[in-house]
Amino acid sequence: AGGATALALARDGVDRIGPRSPEVAAAERARARSGRTVSRRLTAAPGTVDLAGRSARTTVYDGALPGREIRAAVGDRLRITMTNGLDDPTTVHWHGLALRNDMDGVPDVTMTPTAPGATTTYDFAVPHAGTYWYHPHVELQRDGGLSGPLVVEDPDEPLSYDEDVVLHLDDWTDGVGRSPQANLEDLARNGMGDMGGMEMSSDGGVDATHPLGTDTGDVAYPLHLVNGRPPADPYVVSTRPGRRIRFRLVNAGGDTAYRVAIGGHRMTVVASDGFPVEPVEVDALVIGMAERYDVLVTAGDGAFPIDVVPEGKEDPPARAVLRSASGVTPAAGAAGPAGRLLTYADLRPTEAVALRARKPDATLPVVLRMVRGGRTWTINDKTYDEHEPLDVLSGQRVRLVLDNRTTMFHPMHLHGHTYAVVSGGRPGVRKDTVNVLPGQRLAVDLDTDNPGQWLLHCHNLYHGALGMMTVVSYV
């Protein structure tokens, strides 16, 4: 993607939404301030990773798969100096943060990408607590292992737990299977095969309930990883019985939604895409590409599988282990991945983060289609190269109606905002990425309070790369 449109946009964007524009300056001033600065260096470069005794050559941040966790507190200023040790230009996108537009890391829209050998410093305030992540926003770079968790703590958060554990989930191929580029070329050339001709009409209603889709994914992966570890050498969470663990689940996968369950345990969901929700107990949840869930779990006595099952794929599942006490008793009576599943309609934002109900000032359709049998993916019948920005005005309540006319999942992500999923006609759970199911129509409401040019795109890497991206723009 890219090309003339994006470049024209870039020039226009830098003029209109530069760091000195009064709107951006006002938005910056309104952000929380703690007075603290967290400084870090980040190097994107080729590296060798060990996968259960098998070494694979790939590209990583600081030699680690996944990239090391970045942790800050709400209101801190993050100053991250990224050096590009890759052969191609790159950027870093801070997924989910309502940051200033010129730090958002979108090539040719918010910045010129960092050339090989060059260094860029990202410097911005973090306005909200929660579980976020970082990754490049250039072509398929994310699929090679370039991503890591970004956790923003809130000292006043009303949750109590003993341990804080990130589980970074990823479908992974580079160095052990076909390259991401080969997968993309295959999709661009051959499309979706048998599923390629299908178009689904949506059922008319806008709904946030979560019937399971029939998505099969575009790409089979030889490996699914938890914190960079394959099932043969699983990541182990060691604790003691009765301890309360906050798991921060991040789906960094390019083309896989995961069904997550912890044998013998129920999970209490306390946050979605970083924003708190009223606690809900479930046996299992499906986490779409780029989504995050924070769950609390009280450790039982024994060793329990953390099942991470690719949704609708035949690939071998990922797995981690929760080990407490002696750690030798296998889990008994596990609810497992077949238990009661979480739906968006189950989730309610806490009072503190709820978007007040208000009639939208503008309602914009966002129609998601597959054309040419899956060789091209569009938003409102345009690819990214052809797109025209969805023009909205500052200070409005905007409703986006995400209308999935395909048989695939589309995890739709809006940069720079955390919208509310409309449920029963009212703004509900706050999210920045919503997994729109096959044939589903889902509405999200947002307030235009962070001026800039913000990407709206499918976080399935292949759909995005083959066109399913556009821009929401306001000054």
What is the Cα–Cα distance from 271 to 279, expressed in whole angstroms? 8
- Closer residue to ligand C2O in complex, CB, 125/290: 290
3-state SS class at 282: strand
To the nearest whole angstrom, how small is the minimum distance from the Cβ of residue 137 to ligand C2O?
6
Of 55-63, 82-90, 237-245, 452-460, which part binds ligand C2O (CB under 6 A)? 452-460
Q: Report, in Å, the least distance between residue 390 CB and ligand C2O.
A: 15
Q: Minimum Å distance from CB 172 to ligand C2O?
A: 17
- Residues in 31-90 at the binding interface with ligand C2O, rule: CB under 6 A: none
Give me the DSSP letters along 285-304: EEE-TT-EEEEEEE--SEEE
For position 168 contacting ligand C2O by CB under 6 A, the verdict is no
Residue 413 engages ligand C2O in binding (rule: CB under 6 A):
yes
Tell me which residues touch Cu ion (CB under 5 A): 410, 458, 460, 463
- Minimum CB–partner distance for residue 26 and ligand C2O (Å): 25
Residue span binding ligand C2O (CB under 6 A) among the ranges 9-17, 168-176, 267-275, 453-461: 453-461
Q: Judged by CB under 6 A, which stretch of 22-30, 39-47, 237-245, 454-462 contacts ligand C2O?
A: 454-462
Rounded to a whole number of angstroms, the minimum distance from the CB of residue 347 to ligand C2O is 20
CB of 465 closer than 8 Å to CB of 227: no
Q: In angstroms, what is the minimal distance from the CB of 147 to ligand C2O? A: 8
Q: Which stretch binds ligand C2O (CB under 6 A): 237-245, 333-341, 420-428, 451-459?
A: 451-459
463 binds, among ligand C2O, Cu ion, none (CB under 5 to 8 A by kind): Cu ion
Q: How far is the CB of 460 from ligand C2O (least distance, A)?
A: 11
Paired sense of beta strands 163-172 and 244-251, if any: parallel
> Nearest Cα to 256, choosing from 227, 287, 232, 231?
287
Residue nearest to ligand C2O (CB): 95
| 417 in contact with ligand C2O (CB under 6 A) | no
Rounded distance between C-alpha atoms, residue 282 and residue 309, angstroms: 16
99 vs 428: CA distance, rounded Å: 22
Closer by beta carbon to Cu ion, 128 or else 369: 369
Q: Structure tokens of 442?
A: 């889902």
Report the partner that residue 458 touches, choosing among ligand C2O, Cu ion, none (CB closer than 5 to 8 A by kind).
Cu ion
**Which of 282, 309, 455, 472 is the binder for ligand C2O (CB under 6 A)?**
455
Nearer to ligand C2O, 127 or 253 (CB): 253
Which value, to the nearest 10 degrees, does the dihedral of the CA atoms of residues 382, 383, 386, 391 take?
60
Q: Do the Cβ atoms of 380 and 365 come closer than 8 Å? A: yes
Among 257, 457, 466, 468, binds ligand C2O (CB under 6 A): 457
Other CB atoms closer than 10 Å to residue 188's CB: what's the count?
15
Considering only residues 117-146, where is the footprint of ligand C2O by CB under 6 A? Answer: 135, 137
Q: How far apart are CA 170 and CA 41, in angstroms?
A: 23
Smallest gap from Cβ 415 to ligand C2O, in A, equals 6
C-beta of 9 vs 335, nearer to ligand C2O: 9
- The rounded distance, in Å, linking the Cα atoms of 247 and 265 is 13
Q: Which residues contact 321 (CB under 8 A, 6 or more apart)?
A: 234, 235, 236, 237, 303, 304, 305, 306
Minimum distance of Cu ion from residue 432's CB (angstroms): 16
Token output for 464 = 């995005």
Check if the beta carbon of residue 253 is closer than 8 Å to that of residue 171. yes
User: Residue 405 binds which entry of ligand C2O, Cu ion, none, with Cβ cut-offs from 5 to 8 Å by kind?
Assistant: none
From the list ligand C2O, Cu ion, none, pick the one residue 74 interacts with, judged by a Cβ distance below 5 to 8 Å according to partner type: none
Residues 6 or more apart whose CB falls under 8 angstroms from that of 254 comprise 140, 142, 143, 171, 180, 219, 289, 460, 461, 462
Q: DSSP string covering 341-372, please?
A: BP-GGG--B-GGGPPPP---SEEEEEEEEEEG
Q: Which is nearer to ligand C2O, 137 or 210 (CB)?
A: 137
Considering only 292, 415, 417, 431, the residue that binds ligand C2O (CB under 6 A) is 415
Report the number of secondary-structure helices (H) and strands (E) in the chain.
4, 30
Neighbours of 241 (CB within 10 A): 12
Residue numbers of the site for ligand C2O (CB under 6 A)? 93, 95, 135, 137, 290, 413, 415, 455, 457, 459
